[in-house]
Each structure stands twice: as C-alpha cells, then as structure tokens.
C-alpha cells in the first residue's frame, strides 16, 4: 500500500488527542512534515515517552505534551485555557483519543458513561473551547476520528449518554456514531456562520491499536489479534485516513475518509460512507443542542 504523506506543515500547529496508537502515528507524520504538534493525554509518563520517541525519529521535531484528561470536562477547560493563553492559532485539531468497551459501567468526573464522555462529549467541548484559535488560522481543520462501528449503532436520543441498561459494545458504537454526526454538523454550522472551518471525519478501518486492550477478556483480545493479522492493518496504516483528512488539499469539508480496501478495513485512504442516520438534519440539531447543555459550552 502506498503511504500517504501530508504536505508541508511548516508554520502550523496541530493538537492531537491521544498519545499512543493512532494519535502517536498522526503526530509523528505531522512532525515529519515540519509542523508543530501538541500531543494531549492524561498520562504524563506516556506523553513524555511519545514525545521522546518522535524526537529521536525526527531530529529537530517541535513536539510537546499537553495534560488533558478527557474523562473530565474541567480538565478540558483547563487545557484549552492554557492553550488560549500560550497560542494565537491552532491549524489542526485531531479529535482522536478514545476507549473501547469497558466491561463494566464506568463514569466520567461529571457522571457520564465513560465512552460517551471520552470519545464524544469531551471532544465536542474541546472543539468549542478552541474555536477562537481555529478561526484565527488560514486553513483550519477539525478531524473527528470515528469508526466502522457507527454503522452498527442502535441510536436512542433519550439514552444519549448510554446510562440506561449499559452494554459495552452498544455504548461504543453510539459514541462513534455521535463523533460522525458531530463532524458533519460542525461543517454545516461553520458554513452557516462563516467560521471558515473544514470539519471532516475519518476512521482507521480495522487497525491494531491499544483500544483492544481496554476490556473484553483475554480470549477476546487474543482472537481479535489473530483477526487483525489476517484482515487488519497496523496503527501506522490506520492513521492514513486521518492524515489524509487533516492534510489533503482535495479532502472535502463534511466528508468521511477511511481505508478503501477489503470491507473498508484496510487499504489506501479515500472517501467513505457515513451511517444513514447521519443524514437526519433534525436529529443532528437535537443532538447538538443536548450536547451543548451537557458539555456546558456554546458555539459561536
């Protein structure tokens, strides 16, 4: 598979959530392209290790770690506040970090189901908090990392947070559908309000990341790794659609990008398809309204 390499990122600043897996690979490629990168995550040790690895691979790379716990909206506000004091522009925001299917119900600091809170709501809030810095950029992009799991979500607007009858897989699929809906609606609102943003979604296909270590038992983990070897791809390959969305001059705002090979699980990056429910404008409006209330933010 031919590797996609983003165009020169010299003079740009990218914020990437998640210090391992896809986040690391995206940050590494953006650093190679000459961009400044802030890798944001909750584990300072892992963050420092990721920064050191990139610095060793790309001499002179301008990469830093930023403390951000997506299970806490307070931490999101603090991270964004620090960034607004230190920077004047953010060119790329990669809403990537996530967790997958904790076997038991876990809650964020604010009491939201953990996958809803980390995968979706914290990124919804972070984007709102960084909107002034994004709008100050010449070609700002927000890339929300979704999943093929969006197509399997059983969506219930009255159980938006997955707090009723917790099921690990159902909550994960729902959080990834919400990320896809957010990417599409953010572009619509940018167009209407003149924010100048390009909002895109991307998914990695079936990529070998540390998401699979989150839960589900040893046997499931082992079987998943075997399947990955047969039909999946590496984290570096899974990062390709994210990089394409973040850097390609022909990537269209509001669009979804993913692997174009076997069942969209692997292969070169290209256009993908949203779940049909993402087309429901009225539903997206209602989800947006409720998300603003739950996150305590307002766009505009």
Helix extents (H) in 194-280: 218-231, 235-238, 240-247
Mean pLDDT for 152-165 is: 88
For residue 211, the model assigns a pLDDT of 55
Q: Minimal CA–CA distance to 243: which of 2, 4, 1?
A: 4
Mean pLDDT for 86-100 is: 98
Residue 156 within any structural domain of the chain = yes
Mean pLDDT for 77-100 is: 98
Residue 53 within any structural domain of the chain = yes
Tens-place pLDDT, residues 185-210: 999 999 999 999 999 999 999 865 55
Tens-place pLDDT, residues 9-46: 999 999 999 999 999 999 999 999 999 999 999 999 99
Cβ partners under 8 Å of residue 243, min gap 6: 4, 5, 6, 26, 29, 30, 269
Structural domain that includes position 87: 13-294
Q: Minimal CA–CA distance to 188: which of 291, 299, 77?
A: 299
Is residue 162 very low, low, confident or very high in pLDDT (cuts 50, 70, 90)?
Answer: confident
Residue 148 within any structural domain of the chain = yes
What domain count does the chain have?
A: 1
Residue with tokens 């690895």: 53
For residue 7, the model assigns a pLDDT of 96
Residue 57 within any structural domain of the chain = yes
Mean pLDDT for 91-115 is: 96
Residue 70 within any structural domain of the chain = yes
Residue 1 within any structural domain of the chain = no
Residue 5 within any structural domain of the chain = no
For residue 204, the model assigns a pLDDT of 95
Residue 300 within any structural domain of the chain = no
Residues classed as catalytic:
172
Whether the predicted pLDDT of 248 surpasses 90 = yes
What mean pLDDT is reported for the chain?
91
Domain of 177: which CATH number? 3.40.50.720
Distance from CA of residue 191 to its chain's centroid? 21
Query: pLDDT: is 224 or 126 the higher one?
Result: 126
């Amino acid at each position: 598979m031919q590797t996609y390499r983003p165009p020169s990122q010299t003079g740009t600043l990218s914020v990437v959530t998640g210090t391992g897996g896809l986040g690391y690979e995206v940050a590494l490629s953006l650093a190679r392209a000459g961009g400044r990168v802030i890798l944001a995550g909750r584990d300072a040790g892992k963050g420092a290790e990721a920064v050191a690895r990139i610095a060793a691979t790309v001499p002179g790379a301008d990469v830093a770690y930023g403390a951000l716990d997506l299970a806490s909206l307070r931490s999101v506000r603090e991270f964004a506040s620090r960034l607004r004091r230190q920077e004047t522009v953010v060119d790329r925001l990669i809403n990537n970090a996530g967790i997958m299917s904790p076997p038991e119900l876990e809650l964020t600091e604010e009491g939201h189901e953990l996958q809803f809170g980390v995968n979706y709501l914290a990124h919804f809030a972070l984007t709102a908090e960084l909107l002034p810095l994004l709008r100050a950029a010449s070609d700002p992009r927000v890339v929300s990392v979704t999943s093929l799991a969006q197509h399997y979500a059983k969506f219930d607007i009255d159980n938006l947070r997955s707090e009723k009858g917790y099921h690990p897989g159902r909550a994960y699929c729902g959080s990834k559908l919400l990320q896809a809906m957010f990417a599409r609606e953010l572009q619509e609102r940018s167009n209407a309000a003149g924010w100048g943003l390009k909002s895109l979604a991307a998914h990695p296909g079936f990529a070998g990341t540390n998401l699979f270590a989150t839960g589900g038992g040893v046997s499931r983990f082992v079987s998943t790794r075997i399947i990955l070897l047969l039909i999946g791809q590496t984290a570096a390959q899974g990062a390709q659609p994210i990089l394409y969305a973040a850097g390609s001059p022909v990537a269209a705002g509001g669009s979804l990008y993913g692997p174009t090979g076997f069942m969209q699980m692997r292969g070169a990056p290209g256009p993908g398809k949203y779940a049909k429910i993402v087309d429901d404008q009225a539903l997206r409006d209602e989800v947006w309204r409720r998300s603003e209330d739950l996150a305590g933010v307002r766009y505009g």
